[in-house]
Amino acid sequence: MAQSRAGRLAPVVEMAEKVEKTAVQRLGHFQGQVRLAESKLADLEAFRLDYQEQWIIRGSSGVSGQWLLGYQGFLAQLGTAIDQQRQSLVWHQNNLNKAREAWQKAFARVEGLRKLVQRYMEEARKLEDRREQKLLDELSQRLPRQDPY
């Protein structure tokens, strides 16, 4: 009976494993998205740093008012792009956290089901061992006893 219980759970375990596999794939996808967003943010910040260094180099030799206005305008746009990229990174990190939680739940469910199936199989094995022992005991009592003397 316990063996059939384990057998009946097989499709449930299979479905839970599929859900967990999908959750792992989503987790991997969102990890990639976070890495990409981090990389873009780092690129933007490095570009801004380089652009600010240009100010130091060009500013030391004197610049026109028009160049200075263009520089300030572009630096403001770059700051806006960096802020937006930070927001994007936070959004991707939130998605990653949600995907991680979903995977952890799916993983815990699969592990719980596997343990349950294992327990059912262990119960079936013990039951079969008891039946076998009982049969052996009955057979040994039916055999004629031989006197060792």
Domains for the chain: give ranges and CATH numbers. Answer: 2-138 (1.10.287.1700)
Model pTM greater than 0.85?
no
87-96 residue pLDDT tens:
999 999 999 9
27-75 residue pLDDT tens:
999 999 999 999 999 999 999 999 888 878 877 777 788 888 888 899 9
- Choose between 122 and 139: higher pLDDT: 122
CA distances for 137 relative to 39, 130, 140, angstroms: 73, 10, 5
